[in-house]
Structure 1
Amino acid sequence: MIKTAARALAAAALALLPLATTVPAHAAETLSLHDAIETLPQAAESRDGYERSKFKHWIDEDKDGCNTRAEVLIDEAFTPPNIGPGCRLTGGSWFSYYDDKVVDGPSGLDIDHMVPLAEAWDSGASQWTAARRQAYANDLDAERSLVAATARSNRQKADQDPAQWMPPAAHAQCPYLADWVGTKLRWSLTVDRDERNALRRLAAGCENTDVEYERV
């Protein structure tokens, strides 16, 4: 898996640093979904000043010819696509867990920001630097920050939070809540009152669901 390989290379690079070098790190944390929801800081939301262009996305961070969108598609495919010149992807198969659909070929897929860019802006990203917003929009280091989903489900979701939209597939509900809450915790994003109340209500049937995250 590309993300796993990237993490292994990063760990190897850190091992070569001089002992005197201090490398800031955050330990991975695991909470029950209930506790994770209560850990989220609460604040009012504001979309003032939001523009999608303030989150530079689909970059080629590692300069291997494949941008973030392609990296996610390659990583999440259960039948690997063919990778042509310029990282053009053909063939391959994916499972869109939002709506329980198998998709053949990459053209029917969108890459969904688990917490949409506009929602992130509302929840604290408006105060970030441009560099941090770019890192958020291209986060390949967390398994569920970016998700390959059918174009239909992604566009139905748009910029809505769980108070307004949840995946239509019943089995997707608890994993989606964990992915949403984990992403907000990872990036220290807030929730408003309606969102927290919706998360509490929706999580009532997810007793055995944990949230795993690592803050950045």
Structure 2
Amino acid sequence: MIKNLMRRGLPALALAALPLLTTGAPSAHAEPSLPTAHLATAPGPAGARVPLPLFEAIDRIPVADEQRAGYKRDLYKHWNRGLMPSDGCDTRKEVILSEAVHAPQVAAGCKLTGGSWRSAYDDVVVTDAARLDVDHFVPLAEVYDSEQTTWSAARREAYANDQGSPDTLIAVSAASNRSKADKDPAEWMPSDGSYHCTYAATWVGTKLRWDLAVDEAERQALLGLAEDCPSTTVVYEPAP
């Protein structure tokens, strides 16, 4: 659980100092010096992990106009039965459990009580699982816009429930997720400025993992973020 929070850019030693809040103002934290999006392993010699500078990673994403016509959310089946169907928890609940700072109690039917979570988008700690959303880091509508060829139903379901990367799905406060909606980085960024470099790198890594395109406005926004994040790197693994 702590490991998952560190992947979100929060040092382990800082977890104990987080206030237990359900709402809060945007953080004024300084930009972290070496943020990295950890998305499993990137292609490289002998399977080595190869961090890419953010600028270089952005350049690997093809540019194409968005195509929203025909989009329906139910084209991306979610949530499915998760990695462990026998536990009674669907993908959404499994993500919530994996990202808990303090683990909740799990009752029959995967009912969660207690626990706490850090919402990376707005830098607050949520103490009620019902006030969490599990966000598709690249929103489903944005994925539809960005498919380079039309995906099969199976690939869409695989994306919508992807737990093969720690970053495709993220548990955040419901308020921050609904503020984001289906916007890309040209239209929305987290209120916590200290998370911007990690957010940009994770967005780019997820697009690379799933072979998705960017539109020109999105690309320019990402390049602008890369200018502010010179030490940020991206590590990704193509989705199976």
What code does the residue aligned with 1:131 have?
Answer: A
Q: Structure 1 residue aligned with 2:56, among 23, 28, 35?
A: 35
Say whether the 8 Å CA contact 1:29–1:214 is kept in structure 2: no
1:60 aligned onto 2:81: yes
Change (3 A) 1:107 1:34: same
For 1:147, the equivalent position in structure 2 comes to: 170
Distance 1:211 1:190 in 2: 17
For 2:116, the equivalent position in structure 1 comes to: 93
For 1:13, the equivalent position in structure 2 comes to: none
1:197 aligned onto 2:187: no
1:205 shift after superposition: 1.1
Distance 2:114 2:128 in 1: 5
What's the CA shift string for 1:118-163, capped at 9, x where partnerless?
Answer: 0000000770000000000000110110011110110000000000
1:208 shift after superposition: 1.1
Change (3 A) 1:44 1:106: same
Say whether the 8 Å CA contact 1:47–1:118 is kept in structure 2: yes
Aligned to 1:174, the other structure's residue is in SS state: helix
What's the CA shift string for 1:164-214, capped at 9, x where partnerless?
Answer: 000010111000001100000000000011110110012211111111110
Aligned to 1:154, the other structure's residue is in SS state: helix
Change (3 A) 1:125 1:115: farther
For 2:99, the equivalent position in structure 1 comes to: 76
1:83 shift after superposition: 0.7
Aligned to 1:127, the other structure's residue is in SS state: coil
When normalised by structure 2's length, the TM-score is 0.78
Change (3 A) 1:82 1:184: same
Say whether the 8 Å CA contact 1:44–1:192 is kept in structure 2: yes
Distance 1:148 1:176 in 2: 14
Aligned to 2:171, the other structure's residue is in SS state: strand
1:123 aligned onto 2:146: yes
Aligned length: 195
Distance 2:238 2:200 in 1: 18
For 2:37, the equivalent position in structure 1 comes to: none
1:30 shift after superposition: 2.4
Distance 1:90 1:144 in 2: 24
For 1:19, the equivalent position in structure 2 comes to: none
Aligned to 1:37, the other structure's residue is in SS state: helix
Say whether the 8 Å CA contact 1:125–1:133 is kept in structure 2: no
1:29 shift after superposition: 4.5
What's the CA shift string for 1:65-103, capped at 9, x where partnerless?
Answer: 110110000000010011110111111100001101010
| Moved segments of 4+, more than 2 Å | 26-30
1:135 aligned onto 2:158: yes
Change (3 A) 1:60 1:122: same
For 1:9, the equivalent position in structure 2 comes to: none
* 32-41 or 123-132, which deviates more: 123-132
Listed as ranges, the matches of 1:200-211 within 5 Å are 200-211=223-234
What code does the residue aligned with 1:50 have?
Answer: Y
User: Structure 1, unaligned stretches of length 5 or more?
Assistant: 5-25
For 1:187, the equivalent position in structure 2 comes to: 210
Distance 2:153 2:171 in 1: 25
Aligned to 2:85, the other structure's residue is in SS state: coil
Specify which structure has the higher proportion of helix: 1
When normalised by structure 1's length, the TM-score is 0.86
For 2:186, the equivalent position in structure 1 comes to: 163
